[in-house]
Copies of this chain bind each other. A is one copy, B any other.
Amino acid sequence: MRATLMYAADDVRVEDVTDPKIQQPTDAVVRIVLSCVCGSDLWPYKSLEPTDAPRHMGHEFLGIVEDIGTEVHTLKPGDVVVAPFVWADNTCAYCREGLQTSCPQGGRWGVNGVDGGQGQAARVPFADGTLVKLPVAEDSELLPDLLTLSDVLSTGYHAARTAGVGRGDTVTVIGDGAVGLSGVISAKLLGAERIILMGRHRARTDLGRAFGATDVVPERGEQGIARVKELTGGEGTSKVLECVGLKDAIVQSFGVVRDGGTISRVGAPQFTDVPFGFGDFMRNITLTGGVAPARAYIEELMPHILDGSIRPGRVFDSTVGLEDIADGYRAMNDREALKVLVRP
């Protein structure tokens, strides 16, 4: 089959790789119908050292079950399924607590002999635990929306949930990328009344407004902090969703969070130390969040997509065929595209 391999920064190729087949009785093989490029794929796209052992890319996909192992009981060939961005047994203590990202038996796509998601097919370990059946047909118009369950919507939702967003809240969302916009959707879904979106890309913040942002703050740093405070009676907001992962964004989060408030960060931190010393200790700030256990949220979020009350697939503003995926990476990296769908 064809799959996406990264050999170095700015060197993404589609090549022939071994066809996936059942290896463990708990495996399934899924033919991929829809995949996409993640903001996190851009980190290696910017920085990967040249390698002869290329990375198998992609961790967001949905598709059709083609084959199952003898111990797969909840799925059958022909089922339409979505995969969360880590696979997991979904039976251990961590999984039962909704922390599938810490499943001792689980792992990531594209490493240790597991396929990546940006290809024509994938072997799925612990298929019963990992995959979630979608009650739609292979040609449903909802597929792009449902694909967001795999990562980006679930990640935004993880931010909102771990920040404790609830009815009537005022929330600041930092970042107008696909995760930030998913944070806006999620905050609204959880009942937030006022959602301040910090971002400066007009097309994206316009989509954020369509998703439920009530205020947009294009300024950054001290100016942005001052603007959010001005909007909130000088206090900032009790809930802050940090959807970027850069140090400037976390510093900005501490600037806009109200005393006693919570910052939830879901952008993978590109830094090791958080400036979180005496001053913010005296303000009783909580820093939470982390990598999203998407699997935990899929059943909860899916009905809102199926009934049309949220349209998270609107974050996809560009589509490429698999053979052209390198152009999708380039477009996202150059900020020409917000998030790119890939049709194998």
Is A101 in the interface zone, CB < 8 Å from B? yes
20 pairs from A and B in contact (CB 8 Å cutoff): A94-B259, A94-B260, A101-B284, A102-B284, A162-B286, A268-B281, A269-B278, A271-B277, A272-B275, A272-B278, A273-B274, A273-B275, A273-B276, A274-B276, A274-B277, A282-B290, A282-B291, A283-B290, A284-B289, A288-B288
CB distance from A96 to the nearest CB of B (A): 12
Instruction: State whether B283 touches A286 (Cβ < 8 A).
Output: no
Q: Are A268's CB and B278's CB within 8 A?
A: yes
CB proximity of A278 to chain B, nearest CB, Å: 5
Q: A269-B277, A284-B289, A286-B288 are in contact. List 6 more A-B contacts (CB 8 A).
A: A94-B259, A97-B260, A271-B277, A274-B275, A286-B287, A287-B287
Q: Report A15 CB to chain B, min CB distance, Å.
A: 29
The B-contacting residues of A in range 75-115, CB under 8 angstroms, are: 94, 97, 99, 101-102
User: Which of B162, B271, B281 lies in contact with A290, CB distance below 8 A?
Assistant: B281
Known: A102-B259, A269-B281. A287 touches B276 (CB 8 A): yes
Tell me whether A265 is interfacial, beta carbon within 8 Å: yes
Residue of B nearest to A262 (CB): B288
With a cutoff of 8 Å between Cβ atoms, the chain B residues found around residue A293 in the complex are: 284
Given A269-B281, A275-B272, residue A259 in contact with residue B99 (CB < 8 A): yes
A48 contacts chain B at the CB level, 8 A cutoff = no
Give A39 to B81 CA distance when docked, in angstroms.
57
Residues of B within 8 A of A277 (CB): 269, 271-274
Residue of B nearest to A277 (CB): B272
Which residues of A in the span 94-140 have a Cβ within 8 Å of any Cβ on B? Answer: 94, 97, 99, 101-102
Expressed in whole angstroms, the minimum distance between the Cβ of A330 and any Cβ of chain B is: 26
Contact partners of A278 in chain B: CB under 8 A = 268-270, 272
